[in-house]
Each structure stands twice: as structure tokens, then as C-alpha cells.
Structure 1
Amino acid sequence: MATVASTVDTTAEAKLLRFALKQDALGSGAFGVVCVAAAAVFGELFGLPAALLYPVGAFLVAWAAALFLLSSRPAIGRAAVGVVMAINIAWVAASVELLVAGWFPLTGLGIALVIVQAVVVAGFTGLQFAGLRKHA
């Protein structure tokens, strides 16, 4: 019976997974910084309250730091990547819920923003899954 390793190797085997984690970190960090720096402007432009954008932005900056740390480790734990993917899936589900429930009076640009960022996060998650499967 084959044993599944609990970590991903540091060499080229983990190239796709590291790439996916770093891209997720870059996107999350950039979006987080913009949310914190321009919460009032974003709130008006997209129909989202600044009081929501500040903590979301701060979370995203911290999330980005955690993703960079994970991607730079000598061995990437599969369980850690599973947690990252679960959080990303929860983010996408919350984005859909935000649209369906109508919690905020989103503008057309706000609806587009929520859809685009959810699609991007889903894409990162797909790449992370592919990176894990490639080395199973």
C-alpha cells in the first residue's frame, strides 16, 4: 500500500504549488492594502461600508503574510494547504452570499468587484489543488 507524504518537497516538485500560494499572497495583499488605504472611496464607489473594508483589508494583509510564509517554507505541509484552500472556498461562498442576500446596496461596480475577486480566489484555489495533486 502506498503512503501519501504529508509535505510537499522543496524542489521543482512544489513549483506550481509555491507559485499558486505566492500569487494568492500577492493578490490578497494588494487588495488588502487598497481596502485599508481607500476604504472610504471604495465604500462610496462600490456600495460597501468603510467599516467593513477596514477589517477585511487588515485580514487580507495578514493572510498575505501567512501565505508568503507558507510558500517560503522548506517543506509545505499538505494540511496547511488544505486549510488555505478551505478558507479560500469559504471566501468565495461568502462572496456569493453577499450578492444573493443583498446585505449591502452594491453599485454595479460593487457587484462586478465581488464577482471578479471571487473568481480570482477560486482560480488561486484551483491552482493550489492542482499543485497538491501533481505531487500526491
Structure 2
Amino acid sequence: MTNPIHFLRAVLTIDAVTCLGMGALLVAAAGPLAGLLDLPAALLFEAGLLLFPSAAFMLWAARQADRLEWPVRAIALLNLGWTAASFAVIALLAPNPLGAAFVAVQALAVAGLAALEFHGLSLFRRAFA
């Protein structure tokens, strides 16, 4: 059986690293990406900035042993919120096809991470209930 603490720590670390990578991309290249994706540069830049404290919280949560459950639940729910907001961006701002694909793919990746976090929580509860 997979150790739920190790599983959750790995998923949170992957989530944090992907947040840092996407945040760096969005902050550093907001202007060029805006033209390529037909999305506002300010939206891309500010979304990128939001990812840095999110990644820090994920890394902090990954280091918790006895208080792992609540931060993972919060992160998974925030990831679902990010996913919903991403699809709202597509619907409301109508980017070009490349922009819609860019936003949709990252949203689905974030939803996948949320699913892994919820799965890890269920493993955690079963192991420590």
C-alpha cells in the first residue's frame, strides 16, 4: 500500500513546482504571451504572481506531518477554483484557439492535481482513521 503521507508530499511538491514554473513563465513573458494567446497581459502577469504564494503554501503543507489534512483540502479546493476560473476566462474573454487551448490544458492539469490531492486525502483518512 502507498504511504499516504509520502504520496501527498509528492503531489504537493509537484503542484508547487508546476506553480513556480507557470508563475515564472506568466510573469516573465506576459507581454509576448498576451499577443500569442489573445489574452490581456495584466491578467497573465497577475495570475503568474498569484502562483508564487500558492507554491510557497504547497511547499509548507508538504512538510507537515501531523497537520497535513486541512492544508491539502484547502489546496485541492483552491485548485478546483483555479480550474473553474480558467474556464470562465475562456468563456468571458474568448481568446484565440491557441489561447483557449493553453488555458484549458493548464486548467485540466490543475484539476488532475486536485483529484490526486483528494485521492491522497482519502488514503490518509483510511490509514489514520
TM-score, length of structure 2 as denominator length? 0.88
RMSD (CA atoms): 1.3
One-letter amino acid matched to 2:124: H
- Measured against aligned partners, the alpha-carbon deviations of 1:81-125 in whole angstroms (never above 9, x if no partner) come to 111111111111111222223x2x412210111110011001101
Please list every run of 5 or more consecutive structure 2 residues that lacks an aligned counterpart in the other structure. Answer: none
Task: Tell me, in whole angstroms, the C-alpha distance in 2 between the residues paired with 1:96 and 1:28.
Answer: 18
Aligned to 1:135, what secondary structure does the other structure show? helix
Q: Count how many residue pairs are aligned between Structure 1 and Structure 2.
A: 123
What are the within-5 Å matches in structure 2 for residues 1-136 of structure 1?
Answer: 12-101=3-92, 103=93, 105-136=94-125
- Measured against aligned partners, the alpha-carbon deviations of 1:12-61 in whole angstroms (never above 9, x if no partner) come to 43111111111111111100011000010110111111111121111101
TM-score, length of structure 1 as denominator length? 0.84
Bigger drift between 72-81 and 61-70 goes to 72-81
1:7 corresponds to which residue? none
Query: Percent identity among equivalent residues?
Result: 33
Please list every run of 5 or more consecutive structure 1 residues that lacks an aligned counterpart in the other structure. Answer: 1-11
Over 4 Å off, 4+ runs: none
Which structure is higher in RCO with an 8 Å CA cutoff and minimum separation 6?
1
Structure of higher CA gyration radius: 1
